[in-house]
Amino acid sequence: MMFSRRAVAAASARTRHRIFASSSSSSLLSSRISNSNSHFIHHRQQHLQQRAWLTSSLNEPTLFPSANADAAIDGSATVVSSADKNLYDDAMLRSDVRTMGALLGDAIARHHGEDVLEKVERLRGMAKVSRAADTKDSARLAPMVDFVEKLGADELVVISRAFAHFLGVANAAEAHQRSRRLRMDSAKEGKEGMLGALHETKRDSTAGVLSQFLREGADGKGATTRDDLYDSLVSQTVEIVLTAHPTQVNRRTLLEKHGRVQRILNDADSIRETGTPYKKGLLDDALRREIASIWQTDEVSRVKPSPQSEAERGTLVIETVLWESLPGFLRRLDATMKDAMGEGHGLPLTASPFKFASWMGGDRDGNPNVTPDVTREVCLVNRIKAARLLEGDVRELMSLISGNPPRKSFDSEAMDRVRERSGAESRAPFRSYLHPVAEKLKKTGDWAEQELEKMHKSTDPSKHVEKVSTTNILPEEVYLSKDEIMEELLTVHQSLCDTGNAVVADGRLADIIRKVSAFGLTLVPLDVRQESDRHSEALDCVTKYLGLGSYLQWDEGARVNWITQQLQSRRPLLRAGTWNEAGNEDFFSATAKDTLETFQMISEQHEASLGAYVISQCTSASDILAVLLLQRDAGVESPLRVVPLFETLDDLNGAASTMDRLFSIPAYVGSLEGRKQEVMIGYSDSAKDAGRLAASWAQYETQLELARVAEEHSVDLVYFHGKGGTVGRGGNPNTFDAIVNHAPGTVNGQFRVTEQGEMINQNFGYSDRAERTLDLYTAAVLAEQHTDRPLPTKEWKDMMDKLSEISCDAYRRIVREDERFVPYFRAATPEMELSNLNIGSRPAKRKASGGVESLRAIPWIFAWTQTRLNLPTWLGVGEAINEVLAGKDEETLRTMYKEWGTFRTTIDLVEMILSKSDSSIARHYENVLVSDPKAAELGSEIREIHDATERAIMDLSDHKTLSENDHLLLRLMAVRNPYVDCLNVLQAETLKRLRQSSEGSTEEEVLKDALLTTITGVANGMGNTG
């Protein structure tokens, strides 16, 4: 009966019933079906083999295929050695992707018909043939182009969605595969007698780093002692700053669905060997429903997010993942430290290896949507969330520690305090002690909601709905400082330890204490960021109002002298609100009022609501002093630390001189808490300004020079690294090596870095991945402190200066000086259309009237990623390498690559990006979209430079092919390339039609959907956006 049901299922492509049974191979199935059906079955098998997204067995798509079926399906797989298979050729991953592709194909056929699915398959088949040609000639795309040109606008949308969604679910499967490998590695270590809390066999895990240094010390090969490692681990801090930079193209709804897919895959792994057919069938059904729902979900964001919604999305990863994953990781770290260094060398309870902050709701640089009220609102919402989370934890804790220690002579001041609050006769003293804590946390959340309601009522009474409660909660009645609640929690912990209940104390209570240490009462403090010109404009209005002349007309010396005098005076320059008083309209511009209101808002915030004040486009000492003065004048009791951001090549080169002058001003140094100064290095804009190679060297040298200046002035310098997810914006997929290869003496156990866009979800969106990311950062910062990395020799520095000059000139010669470049860039990429994506609240340009020079780094990278040219990452690099290799310094350059890790990392990253690039795709965009002959001529020249750069990189690295040793990357790109090729051809056709369509027409709206879908798909396929 069961086999006959399968035969029926095979006979109808549209009717696919769920079979709650384990799979059988197609050969076994065929032997059980009557001869009269054999010819049909054979035909159907051929049809399914042609449809790669469907399984090549007659069984329904399942997460639990039989071994024979799996082998049959994968008959086309490349044969590799078993050692290589262990590295990258994972049968389970292929099976998962295949199953989800089959389910996606089912959904497409069910909702749009078999004919649409056949068109998808035809295009995919053409792409595979095209790739097999192994040529850089864009003519290989001709059959695909001819096919796509005949599609209607609605078909462009549906077929683009098919490829975009497939790459989306493939990403989910690959993400799950990383988690699966982590579990397998841990299990293997456990079987081999290792602790298995963290990964001792991985060089980039904290356990691996400890093992390496302790082993070297025991063998006499290293000078790092156990105490050195312990002191480093308990004092080092990594601060992750979540930013609202718009690089996450997937809607939150789809991210959640992809998350559910990964949980289903995880559940499938847990029952693969022991689960019943019924349980397996339930998971197959759950996956089918999720994939069907994904297909019917709109992937296009229809509304541009507000800064508040961006902040809501950003903190979601804290609430849903890191709130539990961080203490979970710290528990693993504690166990690893004790296992490696001894029982007395665990992680102190109040140590803070990690902190988190956010720019979401505080970053107003070029974003007029971030107003003072927006920052007020986000700060209050963060307090509400933190209070509710902590309240829930404390109430849970109350149910766990309901015991009553025996009344004997415990010499415990902590227990005395517990009994004093709970009452001498309490039968559950810990619960009684914690009850007021829980109630006060509840009141803290209620107070923040009350303040939020007041703010909404004052800003927009028409939208305000009065709540029933009229109770007015005062700030004195709630927690405003984390020290207060931390003291109470530590009291309970100490009292439990003193009364023989240490095992209880180190359970859930320890987790809560570590949460308070990391997240406090604000979840994440907000940084405020604004460009320096806004502060200068505000001070110009102030000096004119005071009759002192124009601040903007003063030279740097006059500005510094005047601000220094004001800092030493206690008299405010302005009364609060002066800028809004009648009669002062002519003195204060709208932007100056907004700036002054921002500082007024800062003065109103409670402890830890805000973190740093970052000054973008900082070029001088007065830019930094101005922010300190504006805070003082607004009455900020505890001024935010002022952080200059040096981001262009000129800014980086002048940073040491700027800070040297600043540190020579006693009034400023006296304002530094603990004589600690934070400086932000901008990786994105410096690369956009000068090219990747010149920017990398400037960043390296600037950090060394700043460290020297700080040491001369006895200032403790902390670097804030403003990196994006892509290589073109300073990112590096190898977090461990990236940190270890920083300039020597610049990390020193303190590492602050931005995490943004799609990288937030990739690194912290799921608990096991979040813990692995935390482990990577911990291991890297620890290893950096104890890895000997000599400074580059004078010969190497001179060589880097030469390479930097050549590459910068070559980069700017095209991007800045060639009049053909802007028309080419805007015609050959979707840069002009990216503003329709609705993935961020801020404009794509700092100034609406500006050209490419005012374009932000994210859309700059984003546009080139879409066309697969990735120009910003490699332009200028090949010219520099070729010139040196052709001259007398060839051997010096080759030695640098072999022996200097920092330089090799830079070159290897460029090589990795080139291996993901495809000049034939870029040429296709030119053929379809570039009509200006001069612009097309430039495109040809750029592609020649691209190919020459590939040859130069392979010459220097001594590789026969790009990234030849990165087997995982090569295999992933080989699988993805045909699908991304389809999306590129679809995108170019859509752009052509869109630019020719009538504005406001129905077709234009359909084509916009098609375009945005292809953009999302390409981003998913390439693994990044901006």
pLDDT (0 to 100) of residue 379: 97
pTM: 0.88
The three-point CA angle 653-754-256 to 5° equals 150
**pLDDT surpasses 80 at 193:** yes
Percent of the chain with pLDDT over 90: 67
Average pLDDT for the chain: 86
Please give the residue that has the higher pLDDT: either 303 or 764.
764
pLDDT (0 to 100) of residue 26: 31
- Average pLDDT over every residue of 168-181: 90
Tokens representing 912 are 């990795």
Is 245 among the catalytic positions?
Answer: yes
3-state helix, strand, coil in the chain (%, to 5): 65, 5, 30
- Average pLDDT over every residue of 375-398: 97
pLDDT (0 to 100) of residue 759: 82
**pLDDT surpasses 80 at 195:** yes
Length of the chain: 1026
pLDDT (0 to 100) of residue 78: 38
pLDDT (0 to 100) of residue 836: 67
Alpha helices (runs of H) in 423-499, residue ranges in sequence order = 429-459, 482-498
pLDDT (0 to 100) of residue 854: 52
Q: Looking at 112, 119, 176, 245, which residue is catalytic?
A: 245
pLDDT (0 to 100) of residue 937: 97
Q: 659 and 706 in contact (C-beta within 8 Å)?
A: yes
Contacts of 1016 (CB under 8 A, 6+ apart): 164, 168, 249, 250, 299, 300
The residues pairing with 358 across neighbouring beta strands, listed in sequence order, are 242, 526
DSSP string for 745-806: TS-TTEEEEEEETHHHHHHHSSHHHHHHHHHHHHHHHHHHHHS--PPPPHHHHHHHHHHHHH
Q: Looking at 688, 723, 916, 946, which residue is catalytic?
A: 688
- Give per-residue pLDDT as tens, 901-921: 899 999 999 999 999 999 999
**pLDDT surpasses 50 at 1025:** no
- Give per-residue pLDDT as tens, 862-899: 889 999 999 999 999 999 999 999 999 999 999 999 99
Query: What is each CA distance from 417 to 402, 420, 496, 735, in whole angstroms?
Result: 17, 5, 12, 46
- Give per-residue pLDDT as tens, 138-150: 789 999 999 999 9
pLDDT (0 to 100) of residue 837: 63
- Average pLDDT over every residue of 166-188: 89
d(CA 827, CA 927) in angstroms, rounded, equals: 11
pLDDT (0 to 100) of residue 840: 53
- Average pLDDT over every residue of 190-217: 91
Where does the pLDDT of residue 685 fall: very low under 50, low under 70, confident under 90, or very high at 90 and above?
confident
d(CA 695, CA 556) in angstroms, rounded, equals: 26
Please give the residue that has the higher pLDDT: either 119 or 182.
119
**pLDDT surpasses 70 at 752:** yes
Contacts of 79 (CB under 8 A, 6+ apart): none
**Considering only CA atoms, which of 587, 580, 583, 576 is closest in space to residue 546?**
587
The three-point CA angle 338-343-345 to 5° equals 65
CA torsion 523→524→525→531, rounded to 10°? -150
DSSP run (H or E) holding 585: none
d(CA 108, CA 292) in angstroms, rounded, equals: 9
pLDDT (0 to 100) of residue 9: 38
Percent of the chain with pLDDT over 70: 86
**pLDDT surpasses 50 at 368:** yes
**pLDDT surpasses 90 at 464:** no
Tokens representing 176 are 């799950």
- Average pLDDT over every residue of 354-376: 94
The residue with tokens 């000054």 is: 615
- Average pLDDT over every residue of 754-772: 87
Please give the residue that has the higher pLDDT: either 410 or 538.
538
Burial of 836 (C-beta count, 10 Å sphere; 0-12/13-18/19+): middle
